[in-house]
Amino acid sequence: MAGRRIDPAGLAGFAAALGDVEVVRRYATKVVRVPGSDCLWWTGAVSGRGHGRFWFADGRCIVAHRFAFGLQRGVQELEDARVLGHRCDNPLCQRVAPGHVVVSSAQENRREWAHRKEVAGSPLGDPRGARRRARALRDMARRDPREVAAELDRLRRLYGEQMQLPLG
Ligand SMILES: [Zn+2]
């Protein structure tokens, strides 16, 4: 979510969750690999924008790839980063790495999105919209990651989609 700060109590709760092996294990069970894709695919709840949602404590929810970022880089870096972007244009992706989930800014995210949406073959151009696309792919990833691989193949043939587009 763009630029939303976590209050100090929330931050402490989040830090505790990152250090809780049970919570981390629960998070990890919701992430799968898809053959032929470099992304790490979220199979849990999905938000209106197609992002993963992860309940790290009772009534406490965070955007799933922000949890991934916190796991890898720590709470302070997450707090400093504010805005994360998906260079792979896959809002379900949990992979914190160049080309996938990266530190961004609201302005940069908007600029990249507007640019890439217009590029032929962008997953952002899916006529279903981000949420319906993410939910459909999430359902498949949950049932069988090979279904996602087959669907990505189909989308490549149908729309000429490419998972990695130039940044422009
Ligand atoms: Zn990715």
Question: What is the model's pLDDT at position 166?
Answer: 55
Q: Tell which residue, 122, 124, 119, has the closest CA to residue 161.
A: 122
Q: And the tokens for 63?
A: 């955007």
Question: What is the model's pLDDT at position 1?
Answer: 44
| Stated pTM of the model | 0.89
Q: CA-based diameter of the chain, in Å? A: 49
Ligand 1: centre distance to CA 22 (Å): 25
Question: What is the model's pLDDT at position 119?
Answer: 82
Question: What is the model's pLDDT at position 165?
Answer: 58
Question: What is the model's pLDDT at position 11?
Answer: 84
- CA gap 37, 40 in Å, rounded: 8
Ligand 1: centre distance to CA 165 (Å): 12
Ligand 1: centre distance to CA 95 (Å): 6
The answer to whether the CB of 83 falls within 8 A of the CB of 104 is: yes
Question: What is the model's pLDDT at position 3?
Answer: 47
- CA gap 133, 122 in Å, rounded: 13
Q: Which residues of 104-141 are buried (b: 16+ CB within 10 A; e: fewer)?
A: beeeeeeebbeebeeeeebbbebeeebeebbbbbbebb
- Cβ < 5 A residues, ion ligand 1: 39, 88, 90, 93, 95, 100
Strand 40-42 relative to strand 31-33: parallel, antiparallel, unpaired?
Answer: antiparallel
Ligand 1: centre distance to CA 13 (Å): 27
Question: What is the model's pLDDT at position 167?
Answer: 54
Question: What is the model's pLDDT at position 92?
Answer: 98
Ligand 1: centre distance to CA 58 (Å): 28
Ligand 1: centre distance to CA 112 (Å): 15
Ligand 1: centre distance to CA 6 (Å): 25
Rounded mean pLDDT for each run of 10 residues along the chain, 168 residues in total: 62 93 98 97 95 94 96 93 92 97 92 84 88 96 97 91 64
